[in-house]
Amino acid sequence: MITCSLVSAVAEFADDLLVEIHGGVAVVTLNRPDRLNAMTPELQKRLLGSLNELDRSADVRAIVLTGAGKGFCAGADLDVLARVEELVGTDALQARAPVLDTPLIAAVNGPAIGIGFSIMLFADVIYLGEDARIASRFARLGLIAEWGSAWTLERRIGYGAAADILLSGRSVSPKEALSLGLAQRVLPGPELLPAATAWAENIAASSSPYATAVIKRQLWSAATQSFADAFDLSIALEEAALMRPDLGEAVRAHREKRAPTFPPHQRS
């Protein structure tokens, strides 16, 4: 169980995953630096479980996802690929990817390949280190765009650019990723995690958990809605928001020149 106070710090260790919580921000670190954080079924299960648990915690307002050492996630572990027939039909292949209410930023500090590429795409905001290397590689392995990455990538950068990257399996530099809108910032390695954490801390300190959760749902549903439907839904959601205490607290905090104390949002 992951629990914390907004003013306390907690660290949970596993052999391959580290979770640290402070001030409403959870930093989740893939912790297999000797293998560039290559994914195993066990690590995947722990990662999904931790993200979902953090998402349900009223004390966690934003999440940072990164990798230990010189890699973000260099894809599936080669030992796993060598016994891939054992994975067919298992939870490791059928586990649902993390669609969270909580704002999520990826601090991509090195290779994000294959499943690491797909995991990165589930972040709301992506910061890249200057040494990051991004590639899907799926087509070059005879595989498909896993974890819904055809959808998430096309949503971010459009059909043509997504097709180029997925069909070729080529690497994308941080500079190109920034120009495509795939990443929001590119930073020197030592500045990457502090900058991503600062973004998360600003969300935790300044934004309503209820509002960020609803806005994320609006963003994710936009691809399946017409503008008219999205507009009509926003009216209904606005009426519901006006009935909550968040707006009054924001106004009082502004007048009193202090940080707002928003009520927690109970996530389903």
pLDDT at residue 89 tops 70: no
Question: Do residues 219 and 98 share a domain?
Answer: no
Question: Do residues 44 and 107 share a domain?
Answer: yes
Question: Do residues 214 and 156 share a domain?
Answer: no
Question: Do residues 152 and 80 share a domain?
Answer: yes
Question: Do residues 164 and 233 share a domain?
Answer: no
> Region 153-160: what's the mean pLDDT?
96
- Residue 219 φ/ψ, nearest 5 degrees: -65, -45
pLDDT at residue 146 tops 60: yes
State the Cα–Cα distance between residues 76 and 138, nearest whole angstrom.
Answer: 11
Alpha-carbon separation of residue 35 from 30, 138, 160 (angstroms)? 11, 19, 33
Q: Does residue 35 belong to any structural domain of this protein?
A: yes
State the Cα–Cα distance between residues 83 and 80, nearest whole angstrom.
Answer: 5
Least confident of 42-56, 59-73, 84-98, 210-224: 84-98
Round the average pLDDT of the chain to a whole number and report it: 89
pLDDT digits 0-9 by tens, 18-36: 999 999 999 999 999 999 9
Q: Does residue 244 belong to any structural domain of this protein?
A: yes
Q: Does residue 267 belong to any structural domain of this protein?
A: no
Question: Do residues 134 and 173 share a domain?
Answer: yes
Question: Do residues 108 and 221 share a domain?
Answer: no
Q: Does residue 104 belong to any structural domain of this protein?
A: yes
Question: Do residues 140 and 19 share a domain?
Answer: yes
Question: Do residues 113 and 238 share a domain?
Answer: no
pLDDT at residue 161 tops 50: yes
Instruction: Supply the pLDDT for residue 5.
Output: 40
CATH for 118: 3.90.226.10
State the Cα–Cα distance between residues 266 and 208, nearest whole angstrom.
Answer: 12
> Region 54-68: what's the mean pLDDT?
95
pLDDT digits 0-9 by tens, 102-111: 999 999 999 9
Instruction: Supply the pLDDT for residue 15.
Output: 86
In the beta sheet, which residues pair with residue 64? 27, 105
Q: Does residue 266 belong to any structural domain of this protein?
A: no
Instruction: Supply the pLDDT for residue 145.
Output: 93
244 CB contacts (<8 Å, ≥6 apart)? Answer: 210, 263
Of 51-60, 96-105, 146-155, 179-188, highest mean pLDDT: 179-188
pTM: 0.89
pLDDT at residue 11 tops 60: no
Domain limits for position 87: 9-205
Least confident of 71-85, 111-125, 133-147: 71-85
Instruction: Supply the pLDDT for residue 84.
Output: 61
Q: How many domains does the chain have?
A: 2
Q: Does residue 2 belong to any structural domain of this protein?
A: no
